[in-house]
Amino acid sequence: MNQGSVTPEIILSWLLKDKWKILIAAIVFGGISIWVALSIPNQYTSSTVVSSNFNEQGGKGALSKLGGLASLAGISVGKSNYSPEVLKEIISSNSFLAFFIRQNKLEKIVMAAEGFNAENNSFIYNDKIYNVELNKWVRKFKYPQKLEPADIELVKKFKESFSISYDRKTELVKINFKSYSPTFAKSTLEAIIVTFNEFMRKQELESNTQSLEYLKTQLASAKYSEVKLSLQQIMEEQYKNLALANTRKEFAFKTIEAPLLPVLKSEPKRAIVCIAITFAGVFLVSLSLLTIRILRSNNK
C-alpha cells in the first residue's frame, strides 16, 4: 500500500480500531486538564468609568483674538489641551505607570506575586523572583537587566493586569485592573485615578506658573497699552486656571462609575482550559496513532 491509497474511509476505520486508546487518552488528558485548571489561582477584576474634566470650549470675546500672543508663552487660549483620548494615552503611558508603581511601592507585587492567601490576607510570591524572608530580589537576569526590575519591566508586567478603553460615542473612558486579591484590585484602581488626577494637577500648576512668570516679564517691558491690556487678559485666564487646579478635587478625570469590590472571579475560565487541554491531548494522540499506522502501511 502506498501513501496515496490512504483514504478518509481508511483513516476513519483506523480511528475506530484505536477508539479505546483514544478514550483512555481523553480520560487522562481530562484529568490533567482539571488539575491544571484548579492549580491556576483566581483573579478578580475591578472596573471604573471616568470622563474628562477638561471641557472643550471655543474662544469667546477678546481672548479668542489673543491666540498668537498667548502661544508665545506656551498658552492655549480657547480650548483644553487634553481630550479624553489624550488623557487615556497619558494614564497608560510608561512614564505615568512607572511613577505610580514606584510611588505606591508595588514593585514586588507586580513582578513576583503568583497568588493570594485569603486566610492571612497576603500575597504569595514566586521565591525564584523575590525572597520574602530576606526581603530581597533573587531573580535571574541578563545584561542590560539588573537584579532589581527596571521601570520598563515593571510597566510591561503591570499592563498584563491593567487595561483601558475609550468610547468615541460617549467620550467615556473605562479602566480595568485585575489581581489575585479582589480588595487589592479595587484599591489599586482607586489609587490610579487619585494619583493620575494629582499627576495632571501638578503638571498644570507648573505650566501655569511658568506661563505667568513669562507674562509678568513681558508686561513689565511692554510699551503699548493695547499689548499690556492683552497680556493682563491672558494673565487673568491663567490665574483662573491656577485657582481651578488648586480647588477642583477630580482635576483630570471625573468618576462616573466608582470601582466596586469584585466578588466573582474574572479568570481563569476553567471550563475553557479543560476543554482546550483535553481536545489538544486527544488530537495529538490521534495524530500519533494515525502516523504510526500510515508508516506501518507504507512499509508493507
As a whole number, mean pLDDT of residues 259-271 equals 86
Q: Angle CA(196)–CA(177)–CA(33) in degrees, nearest 5?
A: 160
The answer, yes or no, to whether residue 62 has pLDDT greater than 60, is no
**CB-based contact 108:115 (threshold 8 Å):** no
In our burial notation (b when 16+ CB lie closer than 10 A, e otherwise), range 83-103 reads ebeebbebbbeeebbbbbbee
The answer, yes or no, to whether residue 13 has pLDDT greater than 60, is yes
**CB-based contact 265:44 (threshold 8 Å):** yes
As a whole number, mean pLDDT of residues 91-103 equals 96
- Using alpha carbons only, how large is the chain's radius of gyration in Å? 30
pLDDT at 74: 52
Question: DSSP class of residue 168?
Answer: T
As a whole number, mean pLDDT of residues 16-24 equals 84
Q: Report phi then psi at 232, rounded to 5.
A: -65, -35
Are β-strands 172-179 and 253-257 bridged in parallel, bridged antiparallel, or unpaired? Answer: unpaired
pLDDT at 3: 46
CA separation, residue 142 to residues 57, 145, 148 (Å): 51, 5, 12
- Residue 125 CA to residue 129 CA, distance in Å, equals 8
**CB-based contact 106:173 (threshold 8 Å):** no
| CA 67 centroid distance within chain | 37
Judged on CB neighbours under 10 Å (0-12, 13-18, 19+), 20 is exposed
| Total-model pTM | 0.77
Ramachandran area for residue 56 (φ above 0: left; ψ -120 to 50: alpha; else beta)? beta
pLDDT at 59: 43
Mean pLDDT is highest, among 12-16, 91-95, 206-210, for 91-95
Residue 14 grid cell: 483506523
**CB-based contact 176:45 (threshold 8 Å):** yes
Q: How far apart are the first and last CA of the chain?
A: 7
Q: Which residue has the higher pLDDT, 176 or 291?
A: 176
How sure is the predictor about 289, in pLDDT bands with cuts at 50, 70 and 90? confident
**CB-based contact 77:67 (threshold 8 Å):** yes
- Residue-wise pLDDT for 122-150, tens only, equals 999 999 999 999 999 999 989 889 999 99
How sure is the predictor about 63, in pLDDT bands with cuts at 50, 70 and 90? very low
